[in-house]
Structure 1
Amino acid sequence: MRIVGGRFRGRALQGPSSSATRPTSDRLREALFNVLAHAYGDAADGARVLDLFAGTGALGLEALSRGAKFAVFVEEAPEPRGLIRANVEALGVGGITRIFRRDATKLGAALASDSFDLVFCDPPYGRGLAEKALTSAREGNWLAPAALVVVEESVEAAFAAPEGFEELERRRYDASEIVIMRGPS
């Protein structure tokens, strides 16, 4: 695994030692960030990023590499949180990141300063967790008005945008799909 674009392009990221964490592949991340750059006005540049079910932190770290100003990684499991810490340290971005040990489906209320305009949600496939996490983020005021939201899910899961989210596009990559939405205004 590596960062595929931006100022950290080519830098290696630590990956999981087990199959319990499924990081977004380099190829899929590159395709996703190309879409975000060209169809959504370079969405990562200057963004405050929320990375739900962060795993290795690859999505949030890729956004930081491409100009995001701050990222919060939400991950409940200990091994992935350790990977995120190691990757944050290796890239030297500790001052512009926070790691939360939290269930992404039960975020609770955000601090007044914690409003995010770019959200990645890459849960374990096929469990309906993306819908729950986005509902939790909306109810806890984690989302800036009209935040851009990206969900990675298996095609078989038939992800449906929760109430208040507008689906903008859906792209299939093998057995995975990326769904890009706008959050509530």
Structure 2
Amino acid sequence: MRVIAGQYKGRQLKAVPGKNTRPTTDKVKEATFQIMGPYFEGGKFLDLFAGSGALAIEALSRGMEWGILVDKSPKAIHIIHDNLKSLSLENNTEVFRADAFRAIQAASKRGLRFDLILLDPPYAKGDYEGLLNEIVSLDILNKGAIIYCEHDHTTILNSSHKSLSLIKQQKYGGTITITIFRHDT
């Protein structure tokens, strides 16, 4: 697993051991960031199911200035810290072991607003609609913010959410679909 583009292009990242995480493939990561960016001029992100931190690190490599990485797994949190340290990105991030809904609520209480939110939960456990509704209702998005959702191809996401516009929905291989929304207000 490696960083695809930007400041840390080509740098190798550790993966979370075991079968509970599913790293986003380099092909999907590259295609997705071409749609979303491909580069950013600063901004803040929230990665709610960070796994190894690879998507968040890709965002930082491509110009995001700061972000929060969240995962429930102690193994994932350990690997995230290792990957961030290997690239000297500890000062550009906060890492929390928490449930995604609690992380959204905590960000709202802190008054944080984001330009990019990454939703890539374990496919069988992803309450995408609930997460999208919570993100919108707690007003943690800056105008023009992007929400990235990676999900199983059998999961159908509602294309109309209050203040969100569907930008792209693309299937990769036989199992992965990427859905990208933009916050309009």
**Residues 167 and 180 in structure 2, CA contact (< 8 A), matched pair in contact too:** yes
Superposition map of 1:100-139 within 5 A: 100-106=96-102, 107-109=104-106, 110-139=108-137
1:162, distance to aligned residue in structure 2 (A)? 6.5
Provide the aligned C-alpha RMSD in A: 1.8
Match of 1:68 in 2: 64
C-alpha deviation, 1:70, in angstroms: 0.5
- TM-score scaled to structure 1, two decimals? 0.89
2:91 aligns with 95
Q: Aligned AA for 1:66?
A: R
Q: Is the 8 A contact 1:51 1:119 kept in 2?
A: yes
TM-score by length of 2: 0.89
Aligned counterparts of 2:60 and 2:18: Cα–Cα separation in 1: 26
Match of 2:171 in 1: 172
Which deviates more, 138-147 or 89-98? Answer: 138-147
Match of 1:49 in 2: 45
Gaps of 5+ in 2: none
Q: 5+ residue gaps in structure 1? A: none
Aligned identity (percent) is 32
Deviation at 1:25, TM superposition (A): 1.1
Equivalent of residue 157 in structure 1, options 152, 155, 166? 155
User: In the superposition, relative to structure 1, how do residues 160 and 126 fare at CA in structure 2: closer, same or farther (>3 Å)?
Assistant: farther
Residue equivalent to 2:75: 79
Q: Give, in whole Å, the separation in 1 of the partners of 2:168 and 2:30.
A: 17
